[in-house]
């Protein structure tokens, strides 16, 4: 029997996964629209330097802590998502903000910068899987469920910075605030202070990271695990009864970080056996049992500061993104501080890692040649309400 030629056309999903088609509600699978230099090009560093020098003060390059070393080398400032958005806003003379981070961060920078500034994301496929776990339609549906259950009036949305501009705008429209991992407690305290009356007292709808919401409520604010319910957008009514919603204080969206969510209690036990005397330091995006078993918990900036202040001879197992942990291990090795990665099987944030030197060179050279590429622009209506929510965060005590 002769083999028949296969006449198989790729499905839309296959094209999306191959990076050939775009998903309009996220940035997954968007091909670079230009000619990228080859990763093996030996002149990449020189080309990035030359393009940056040609642009001079017109460009400001921001680098998130989770970016690759080869990219961080060209950042004018580094920081967490909140600090970078503020840094961008404090640079009104820069015509172009090149954001080496992920899409929601570039959106926040666009919202907080002036109309004359243009924000560029070197690779449009650098999205965030956590931010993609809450879409505007799903969140609107959730609000309808809360309204049906009679609790929307006493609920304040608090959205993590790691969310799309649409979700930030929803938050602003419904009287809520944005938070980061460094001010989540202050944001929750503020939110509970807004609504105290009604069925079951004030509530918070926390989007989209269930772990940061739960860890802040239980570990930092003394609530119980029973005070928290998880709203699953893939189930009818979020998988919750009206009574469960009425009884809850924290309604947690069922989202998580695909990097931090992989650290486990076993990782903590294994590192304590492997490195006697080790201090376990983790990000609050990790699961509750990991955070409960850790010695220190805090945001990216907190992790950096804690290691800076640590005494020589101390040992640390760090549960956050690998690019940052590797950089911190190298930085502190000479001071006699041992820094290891919490779990040897967890890998880099794949979307953060999409920004590499070829994409950065392509973006900088395009701008230097007068071509604006990969602009991230939030529409006016979304920007108005997202900014309101961001400004509430900036005004937190």
Task: Write out the residues near ligand 13P by the rule CB under 6 A.
Answer: 80-82, 128, 161-162, 180-181, 257, 285, 299-300
Judge whether 300 and 181 are in contact, CB under 8 Å: yes
Nearer to ligand SF4, 110 or 365 (CB): 110
Q: CA–CA separation, 391 vs 109, rounded Å?
A: 13
Which long-range contacts link 236-239 to residues 24+ away (Cβ below 8 Å)? 237/145, 237/148, 238/142, 238/145
Judge whether 148 and 242 are in contact, CB under 8 Å: yes
| Phi, psi of 135, rounded to the nearest 5 degrees | -100, 160
Q: How many CA atoms lie within 13 A of 159 on its CB side?
A: 35
- Per CB under 6 A, the segment of 143-151, 170-178, 235-243, 349-357 that binds ligand SF4 is 349-357
Binding residues: 64, 81, 128, 160-162, 181, 257, 283-285, 300, 349
Residue 299 contacts which entry, ligand SF4, ligand 13P, none (Cβ below 5-8 A, type-dependent): ligand 13P
User: Quick one: which of 258, 301, 329, 394 contacts ligand SF4 (CB under 6 A)?
Assistant: 258
Residue 366 contacts which entry, ligand 13P, ligand SF4, none (Cβ below 5-8 A, type-dependent): none
Binding residues for [4Fe-4S] cluster: 128, 257, 349
Joined tokens for residue 253: 């969206």
CB of 88 vs ligand 13P, minimal distance in Å: 14
Residue 390 contacts which entry, ligand SF4, ligand 13P, none (Cβ below 5-8 A, type-dependent): none
Nearer to ligand 13P, 26 or 181 (CB): 181
Calculate the alpha carbon distances from 301 to 88, 103, 181, 297 in Å. 17, 20, 9, 11
Nearer to ligand 13P, 29 or 101 (CB): 101
Q: Is the peptide bond before 348 cis (omega within 30 degrees of 0)?
A: no
CB of 297 vs ligand 13P, minimal distance in Å: 13
CB of 2 vs ligand 13P, minimal distance in Å: 53
Nearer to ligand SF4, 258 or 306 (CB): 258
Nearer to ligand 13P, 113 or 129 (CB): 129
| Phi, psi of 387, rounded to the nearest 5 degrees | -65, -40
Report the sign of the C-alpha dihedral through residues 110, 112, 113, 116, in that order. positive
When asked if residue 182 is in the footprint of ligand SF4 (CB under 6 A), the reply is no
Looking at the chain, how many residues does it have? 397
When asked if residue 184 is in the footprint of ligand SF4 (CB under 6 A), the reply is no
CB of 155 vs ligand SF4, minimal distance in Å: 24
Bin 19: left if φ > 0, else alpha if -120 < ψ < 50, else beta.
Answer: left
3-state class (DSSP) for residue 63: strand
Joined tokens for residue 266: 């076993």
Question: Taking CB under 6 A as the criterion, which residues in 146-165 touch ligand SF4?
Answer: 162
Chain residues that interact with ligand SF4, rule: CB under 6 A:
66, 102, 128-130, 162, 257-259, 321, 349, 351-352
């Amino acid at each position: 029997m002769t083999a028949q030629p296969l006449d198989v056309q790729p499905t839309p999903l296959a094209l999306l996964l191959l990076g050939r088609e775009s998903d309009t509600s996220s940035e997954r699978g968007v091909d670079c629209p230009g000619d990228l230099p080859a990763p093996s090009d030996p002149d990449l560093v020189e080309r990035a330097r030359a393009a940056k020098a040609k642009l001079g003060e017109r460009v400001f390059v921001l680098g998130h802590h989770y970016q690759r070393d080869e990219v961080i080398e060209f950042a004018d400032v580094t920081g967490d998502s909140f600090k970078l958005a503020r840094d961008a806003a404090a640079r009104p003379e820069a015509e172009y903000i090149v954001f080496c981070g992920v899409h929601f961060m570039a959106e926040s920078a666009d919202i907080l910068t002036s109309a004359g500034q243009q924000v560029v994301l070197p690779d449009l496929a650098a999205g965030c899987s956590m931010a993609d776990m809450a879409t505007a339609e799903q969140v609107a549906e959730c609000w309808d469920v809360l309204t049906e259950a009679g609790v929307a009036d006493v609920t304040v949305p608090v959205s993590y910075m790691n969310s799309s501009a649409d979700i930030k705008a929803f938050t602003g429209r419904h009287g809520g605030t944005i938070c980061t991992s460094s001010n989540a407690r202050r944001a929750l305290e503020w939110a509970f202070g807004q609504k105290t009356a009604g069925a079951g007292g004030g509530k918070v709808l926390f989007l989209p990271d269930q772990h940061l919401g739960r860890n802040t409520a239980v570990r930092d604010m003394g609530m119980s695990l029973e005070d928290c319910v998880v709203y699953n957008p893939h189930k009818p009514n979020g998988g919750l009864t009206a009574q469960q919603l009425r009884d809850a204080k924290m309604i947690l969206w069922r989202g998580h970080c695909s990097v931090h969510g992989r650290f486990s209690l076993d990782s903590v036990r294994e590192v304590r056996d492997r490195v006697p005397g080790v201090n376990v330091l983790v990000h609050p995006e990790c699961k509750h049992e990991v955070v409960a078993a850790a010695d220190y918990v805090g945001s990216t900036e907190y992790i950096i500061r804690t290691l800076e202040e640590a005494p020589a001879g101390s040992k640390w197992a760090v549960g956050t993104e690998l690019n940052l942990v590797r950089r911190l291990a190298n930085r502190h090795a000479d001071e006699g501080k041992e820094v290891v990665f919490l779990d040897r099987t967890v890998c880099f944030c794949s979307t953060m890692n999409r920004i590499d030197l070829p994409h950065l060179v392509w973006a900088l050279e395009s701008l230097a040649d007068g071509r604006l590429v990969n602009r991230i622009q939030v529409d006016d209506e979304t920007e108005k309400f997202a900014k309101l929510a961001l400004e509430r965060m900036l005004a937190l005590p």
